[in-house]
Amino acid sequence: MVDEVDSYSDAKKTIAKMIFEACKKAGFSASAEEVQASIEDAKPGFGDVACTIAFSIAKGEKKNPKEVAEKIAGGIEAGGMISEVKVLGPYINFYLGNAFASEVLAEIGKKKDDYGRGKKKKLKVMIEFPSVNPNKPWHVGHLRNALLGDSVARVLEFSGLHVERIDYIDDLGMQVATSLWSYLNVNGKIEGKADQWIGKEYVEASKKSEEAKVGEEIKRTVKELEEGQGEIAKKGRVLCEKCVKAQYETAYALGIYHDALVWESDIVRNKLLEKAVGKMLESGKVVKESEGENKGCVVAKLEDDEEFKNLQNPDKVLLRSNGTATYTAKDIAFHMWKFGLVESPFKYEKFDKQPNGKELYSTSGKGKPMRFGKADVVVNLIGVEQKYPQKVLNVVLRSMGFVKQAENHIHLSYEHAGLPDAKFSGREGTWLGYSADDVIAEAEKRAYEEIRERFKDMGEEEKRGVARMVGLGAVRFSFIRTTPEKKLIFKWEEALNFEGDSAPYVQYSHARASRILEKAGEVGKASYGLLVEKEELELAKLLSKFPLIAEKSAKEYRPHYIAEYALEVATHFSRFYNVAPVLKAEGELRDARLGLVNATKIVLKNSLALIGVEAPERM
């Protein structure tokens, strides 16, 4: 996704051209494309860039790969960015030297915050997260969805894509009806933060719902919410909006923002499902059965699909014979709207002014049409347990002829998250004491205790400010660093470890770089040719890889690559700092090292920003 050539990509292309010319000189047949595909990062300790073309040439020529590699390398002369060329078995390894490091540091100093950023593209990506029911606060489990979704959105935006963040609010169904019943019949006075209060009331109401009379009243409430006409429905929407606004107080504390809320009640009342089903029937792959066990049902015929044709019953019921929709039908309809395959029925009005200065819009019975939807790519943050329903969605879209949309529907699944020995259930109230708000408060408290002990020269206000940055950064970093496929157990001792693989460690490296530059005062023009220490060159070469790490993270929807990279940069910066004095160096060497410090600071800040972690100037 990175269109503008960066120094490291440029070096790889230069090496590919050299290899191609050397192959021709040696009498070997290899296309430019084959050579380019054979260029890769070298293994640690064996240079910077490696070429494996000798493997394929040797196979075709029936020769020894090592001899082929040596013959190719014999036609390459080191110089310019390349300081040395070595052959190790069938691998041709290239070492990037001081000239390359100089180019990288100049590029970073010039681009600053834009270093690694991709060019603007016309592609629009819609990403949906965290979609928490509006009758409880976010708990630790929801945090994983929210933080992962926000980081993926940041990375995609940095790559140059237009990103639209939406949040689906299911304000119908049993959970909301139970909370509403309690609000109307038991306790109608909200005290404190609305989502916390509603969540606690829901726990108590769930117990009462087991009584026959209460259970029947809640069922009637469900029906009135779905019909959406009377006072009950209006009060339900008001209660849910209060809960969502409270949930967004949590989101804003974590630096999470959205563009639009899409409410289930508005989907129903604006007849999106009916419009989508009409479009489905036009495809011929969705039919209304007139006989058999599915008589009267609207069914997706999937017997021609490779993934479903061997099943005993490959068809998927979308509408039951009584007209009620299955979960699959609703999901398909919603995604047809996301891709612009069905005319949008929604109107929008302003819901909230967010701390980042942007308006948060919401679907509404009033308001005006807006340009949400019509995405080229759709990314859904949904737990791993939803893998099969998401696959069904793709298959149905493909069967209807929407092949491109099926390919561009990304289910970013993730495993559950929790605290040691803690499980979460909204109904049973096991989240109590473990809500996202509780985690945020505890993070700030623990970070403050560390800051107070470590940095006694700070004023109280600064300590509180840094503690907030460090505490929230520790939470975000810990959640993002774990790959989505792995279960996450959040541990305070790991998240807030100032010496370990954590956000505070990376943040401290940024603050150290800031402090060095602050003490240095005015810096002269850097002559990077003076940087010859191993640690200096290794750090510069690592900084050169940031654009490609950001690109890979965007392509694969994996922000944990950024977290791991930031840790690596912080570690290399520490090694450099320990062997190469900066402020005590003299003249042009001092300026060159300060330039390297500045480049490191820029890359650390850019990396942390992609995963929503603030970079303190002082710690």
pLDDT single digits (tens) 546-579: 999 999 999 999 999 999 999 999 999 999 999 9
Residue 466, token pair as written in the block? 């840094």
CA distance 578 to 533: 12
Per-residue pLDDT, 288:
94
pLDDT over threshold 60, residue 289? yes
Which CATH architecture best describes the domain 7-96? 2-Layer Sandwich (3.30)
Class of domain 436-610: mainly alpha
Task: Provide CATH 3.30.1360.70 ranges for the chain.
Answer: 7-96
pLDDT at residue 98 tops 90: yes
pLDDT interval class at 456 (50, 70, 90): confident
What is the pLDDT confidence band of residue 493, given thresholds at 50, 70 and 90?
Answer: confident
State yes or no: pLDDT of 211 exceeds 50: yes
Residue 244 or residue 415, greater confidence: 244
Q: Flag whether pLDDT at 5 surpasses 90.
A: no
Given a cut of 80, whether residue 426 has pLDDT beyond it is: no
Across residues 100-121, what is the average pLDDT? 96
Whether residue 323 is predicted with pLDDT greater than 70 in this model: the reply is: yes
Q: Residue 165: count other Cβ atoms within 10 Å of its Cβ.
A: 22
Which has more pLDDT, 425 or 51?
51
Answer whether residue 313 shows pLDDT above 90.
no
With a cut of 60, say whether residue 341 has pLDDT above it: yes
pLDDT for res 421: 61
Residue 292 pLDDT > 70, yes or no?
yes
pTM to 2 decimal places: 0.92
What pLDDT does residue 418 have? Answer: 74
Helix (H, G, I), strand (E, B) or coil at 353: strand
Q: Which amino acid is at 62?
A: K
Q: Show the tokens assigned to 97.
A: 């030297």
Predicted pLDDT at 536: 97
Which residues, 6+ apart, have CB-to-CB distance to 570 below 8 Å? 505, 506, 508, 509, 604
Please give the mean pLDDT across all residues of the chain: 93
Distance, in Å, from the CA atom of 613 to the CA atom of 597, rounded to the nearest integer, reads 20
Distance CA 354, CA 356 (A): 5
Mean pLDDT of 525-533: 93
Query: At 489, is the pLDDT very low, low, confident or very high (cuts 50, 70, 90)?
Result: confident
Q: Which two tokens stand for residue 49?
A: 């860039």
Average pLDDT over residues 208-220: 92
Indicate the fold that domain 124-281+323-418 takes in CATH. Rossmann fold (3.40.50)
Predicted local distance difference test score (pLDDT) of residue 1: 41
Return residue ranges of the chain for CATH 1.10.730.10.
Answer: 436-610
Q: Region 421-436: what's the mean pLDDT? A: 62
**Which pLDDT belongs to residue 2?**
43
Q: Is the pLDDT of residue 457 over 90?
A: no
Residue 342 has pLDDT above 70, yes or no: yes
State the pLDDT at residue 3.
Answer: 46
Token representation of residue 610: 């992609």
For CATH 3.40.50.620, the residue range(s) in the chain are 124-281+323-418
By percentage, how much of the chain surpasses pLDDT 90?
Answer: 81
Taking the C-alpha atoms of 188, 193, 197 and 198 in order, what is their torsion angle to the nearest 10 degrees?
A: 80
Average pLDDT over residues 243-256: 98
Which amino acid makes up residue 320?
Answer: R
